[in-house]
A and B are shown apart, each in its own frame.
Chain A
Amino acid sequence: MRDSLSRRTFLKSSALAVAAIAATGTAASASPLLRGPDDEPDENVKKVLREKFGDRPIRAGHITLDVPDVAPDSREVPLLIESDLPMTADNYVKGFHIVVDHNPDIYLAGFAFTAAIGAATLDTRIKMRRSSHVRIIAETSRGDLWTTSRFVFTSLNGCV
């Protein structure tokens, strides 16, 4: 009897745990800019995003950010940005924005394009003050915003 009771208790608690995980997963996917718990921007970053994009929703997806996990030189961190968003005459990527949470200028750079853009790709090199999330926001000609982020470890202050 005792065995079956404890087994029942165990099953019940694990079912609750599974339900809790499922609920958390739903909340995470519904929340903008949030892919994992560590990806949540802090208040300073949120302020910059609000200044740039107002209350427009920023959803995760459609961007690939190729950047080293550990930057060998924080003065020159290479970024390669690509997107699988549509590229047609009336629906194209009209801009990329680079946001680095822990840099002196959180909004690092913006790149605006017209319908003359060929492919949704951007290649550049940035400085990083310390280990931080690097966020890319893509803006479409229809006004949709998509984001992705990567955490990049650095050693020295590259903001010289």
Chain B
Amino acid sequence: MNGDIGQGKIILPAKIARNAAFNIRALLSHPMLTGMSRDQAGIPIPAYFVNEVEVTYGGERVAHFEWSSGISRDPFVGFSLRASKEAPVTVTWKDNKGGVYTSSADVRFTTATED
């Protein structure tokens, strides 16, 4: 993901059963610069990183992450929620330069039983 900064992606499992736990994977294209490295001319590269992530599910805030620049480039996080409703999961990433990036995916129950 070396293209545009701020392209978010949320991956949900193909099968989600009502009231079962399901995994969410959230990925954002972002350089996540610590501010501790220099360019080829020896000029310090300023810090530029996502420091806050918010996750909502059906409009309700369900998770909140606080990051330093120690999270890797193109930050990835995988976690789990309980499938209580058919509603969108939205992840909002905020960086230290005021950038705000959002991505959503809809939770839909499949007919399959809990697996």
The stretch of A26-34, A36-44, A121-129 that contacts the partner chain: A121-129
Complex Cα distance, B70 from A127, in Å, reads 5
Contact between B70 and A108, CB atoms less than 8 A apart: yes
Q: Contacts A123-B78, A124-B76, A127-B71 known; A110 to B66 CB distance under 8 Å?
A: yes
Q: Does A114 contact B (CB under 8 A)?
A: yes
- Determine whether B15 belongs to the interface, using a CB cutoff of 8 Å to chain A: no
Task: Report which of B57, B66, B79 forms a contact with A123, defined as CB distance below 8 A.
Answer: B79
Binary contact track A19-63/B, C-beta < 8 Å → 1, others 0: 000000000000000000000000000000000000000000000
Mostly, the B contact residues are strand
Size category of the B interface is 20 to 34
Q: What's the minimum C-beta distance from B26 to chain A, rounded to whole angstroms?
A: 10
Beyond A75-B73, A126-B71, A127-B71, is A117–B65 a contact (Cβ under 8 Å)?
Answer: no
Q: Which of A116, A122, A126 contacts B70 (CB 8 A)?
A: A126
**What's the Cα separation between A108 and B66 when bound, in Å?**
9
The answer, yes or no, to whether B81 is at the interface (CB within 8 Å) is: yes
Given A105-B69, A109-B66, A114-B61, decide whether A122 and B77 contact each other with a Cβ distance below 8 A: yes
Asked whether B71 lies within 8 Å of A109 as measured between CB atoms, the reply is: yes
Question: B63 touches which one: A75, A108, A112, A124 (CB < 8 A)?
Answer: A112
Decide yes or no whether A119 CB sits under 8 A from chain B.
yes
Whether B80 and A118, one on each chain, are in contact in the complex, defined by CB atoms closer than 8 angstroms, is yes
Contact with A along B21-40 (1 / 0, CB 8 A): 11101000000011011000
Q: Looking across the interface, which residue of chain A has its beta carbon closest to that of B69?
A: A105
Contact status A122-B36, CB under 8 Å: no
Known: A114-B63, A116-B57. A103 touches B80 (CB 8 A): no
Max count, chain B CB within 10 A of own CB: residue among A119, A122, A160: A160
Q: Which residues of A contact B96 (CB under 8 A)?
A: none
Q: How far is the CB of B104 from chain A (nearest CB, A)?
A: 16
Pick from A100, A109, A124, A160: contact of B33, CB below 8 A. A160
Q: Does B68 contact A (CB under 8 A)?
A: yes
Among B22, B68, B78, contact of A105 (Cβ-Cβ < 8 Å): B68
Chain B residues contacting A76 (CB-CB under 8 Å) are 72-73
Q: Is the CB of A153 closer than 8 A to any CB of chain B?
A: no
**CA of A114 to CA of B57, assembled, Å:** 11
| Interface flag for B60 (CB, 8 Å) | yes
18 examples of A-B residue contacts, CB within 8 angstroms: A75-B72, A77-B72, A98-B70, A103-B70, A104-B36, A105-B68, A108-B68, A109-B66, A109-B67, A111-B66, A114-B62, A117-B80, A118-B83, A122-B78, A123-B25, A124-B72, A125-B76, A127-B34
